[in-house]
Amino acid sequence: MPESPRDEGRGEPMTAELKQTERGKAYYARFADWLTENGLGHVSSDDFVARPRRGLVLIPEALQPNVDRVNREMYTFVGACRGDRADQGEWQRPADAEKVLLVSLGSSFTEQPAFYRECVEAFGDLPGRYVVLRIGAHVDPAELGDVPGNVDVRTWVPQLAVLKRRGHAPVAGSGPASADGGGGRREPALSR
């Protein structure tokens, strides 16, 4: 199997240990055969899967830890490919809502009923305020107790549709999507 000239000075590829096992050897042999069958016998499996000649980085440069160690000849930071996400649906702001507060912890760590209860207690019944509380799929809305009429509890919300309206404040989980979502519109987010 060909080795990549780009491996020089970078230490062993992450796959080196895997390639020493019987299963790993069999896998890489099948992979090499597949590459050859498809006219790519000159390309190593590591290059094909994990070591591109060029790559696009879909997060903003500011969110990349150790950005000074990124090989700029190989990787170009382009940020998120947002699109309009019209397929996610629209969201209509209630007519009496002067300000909207979107609370969303992202998609990975949403099982936080105590946090959501605190949000309901803190922001519920505030005059002129409307709270969109995205709780994810792992919290039962009943766990939140009594929820005032100005709090809209949802398992999912078309976040960009909410964020594109002016007069809102997002409370976010600080993940890349949340940071980029607010940053892409030059609007601050309160992070949990």
Reported CATH class of domain 86-180? alpha beta
Q: How high is the mean pLDDT of the chain?
A: 80
Q: Rounded to an integer, what distance in angstroms lies between the CA atom of residue 187 and that of residue 181?
A: 9
Neighbours of 12 (CB within 10 A): 9
Residues 51-86 pLDDT 10s? 677 888 888 888 888 999 999 999 999 887 767 777
- Where in the chain is CATH 3.40.50.2000? 86-180
